[in-house]
Amino acid sequence: MVIWSRDQRRIQRIKRRSQPRSAAHRRLRIGGDVVKFVGAIVVVWNLISFASYVSTENGDTVSQRMATWGRDHHLASTIDWLEVHVYNDPPSKEPAKALALNSPTLEPVVTTVTTTIPPGATVIEQPDTAATASTIPPSVASAAAGPTTGAPTTAAPVTDTVPPPAAPAALAPVFTPPLAGEGQWAPIARAGGVDTMWATSIRPLPAAGGVVASMVVIDQTHVRAGLFNGGEEPGGTWKRGNRVPKDLQPALLAAFNGGFRFEHTKGGYKTEGVELMPLRTGGATLAVGTDGRVRVGQLGRDLFDDGSWISLRQNLILIVDNSQSQVQRGIDQGVWWGADYGREVYVPRSAACEMADGRLAYALVGKVNAEQLAESLINIGCVKAIQLDINGTWPVFFTFGPDSGGNLIGRFVDTRMGGNPYRYLNGSTKEFFAFFDSSLVAPASVLDG
**Residue-number span of the structural domain to which 399 is assigned:** 186-448
Select from 218, 212, 135, 207 the least CA-distant residue to 178: 212
How far, CA to CA in Å, does 340 sit from each of 215, 331, 343, 345?
Answer: 26, 10, 6, 7
Render 113-128 in DSSP notation, one character per residue: ------TTPPP----G
**Does residue 73 fall inside a structural domain?**
no
Residue 388 CA to residue 78 CA, distance in Å, equals 22
Query: Where does a domain end: 103, 129, 163?
Result: 163
Both 210 and 320 in one domain: the answer is yes
Same domain, 280 and 400: yes
pLDDT of residue 88: 84
In a domain, 345, yes or no: yes
CA distance 434 to 253: 8
Flag whether 328 is in a domain: yes
pLDDT of amino acid 406: 86
- The answer to whether position 99 is within a domain reads no
Q: What single-letter DSSP state applies at residue 234?
A: B
Q: Assign 400 to helix, strand or coil.
A: strand
Element (H, E) at 374: helix 370-379
Q: What is the DSSP letter of 146?
A: -
Q: Is the domain of 147 the same as that of 203? A: no
Asked if the structure places residue 359 within a domain, the reply is yes
Collapsed DSSP state (helix, strand, coil) of residue 295: strand
* 285/407 same-domain check: yes
Residues 140 and 265 in one domain: no
In the structure, how many helices (H) and strands (E) does the chain have?
8, 20
Cα distance between residue 242 and residue 227, in whole Å: 10
Residues 289 and 401 in one domain: yes
Which one-letter amino acid corresponds to residue 243?
R
Residue 127 shares a structural domain with residue 193? no
Number of Cβ within 10 Å of residue 275's Cβ equals 12
Nearest to 399 by CA among 435, 448, 354, 444: 435
Say how far apart CA 315 and CA 373 lie, in whole Å.
15
Alpha helix (H) residue ranges in 23-136: 23-55, 62-72, 76-86
306 and 439 belong to one structural domain: yes
209 and 154, same structural domain? no
Is residue 90, in this structure, part of any structural domain at all?
no
What is the amino acid identity at position 198? W
Res 421: pLDDT? 85
211 and 243 belong to one structural domain: yes
Q: Sheet harboring 397-402: ordered strands across?
A: 223-228, 432-437, 252-257, 397-402, 408-412
Under 8 Å between Cβ of 283 and 266 = yes
- Among the three residues 129, 148, 163, which one is the final residue of a domain in this structure? 163
> Which segments of 122-243 are extended strands (E)?
132-133, 186-191, 194-202, 212-218, 223-228
Mean pLDDT, consecutive 10-residue stretches, the chain (449 aa), reads 62 60 62 58 59 62 63 59 71 97 56 33 32 30 34 42 88 96 96 96 98 98 98 96 96 98 91 97 98 98 97 98 98 93 94 98 97 98 98 94 89 94 94 98 93
Residue 86, domain member (yes or no): no
Can you tell me whether residue 379 is helix, strand or coil? helix
Count of domains for the chain? 2
Report helix, strand or coil for 310. Answer: strand
Residue 403: the pLDDT is: 86
Tell me if 233 is assigned to some domain.
yes
> In whole angstroms, what is the distance from residue 55 CA to residue 65 CA?
9
- Asked if residue 260 and residue 125 are part of one domain, the reply reads no
Q: How far is CA 417 from CA 218, 236, 398, in A?
A: 19, 27, 9
Give the residue from 100, 128, 163 where a domain finishes.
Answer: 163
* Residue 225, pLDDT score: 98
Residues 151 and 263 occupy one common structural domain: no
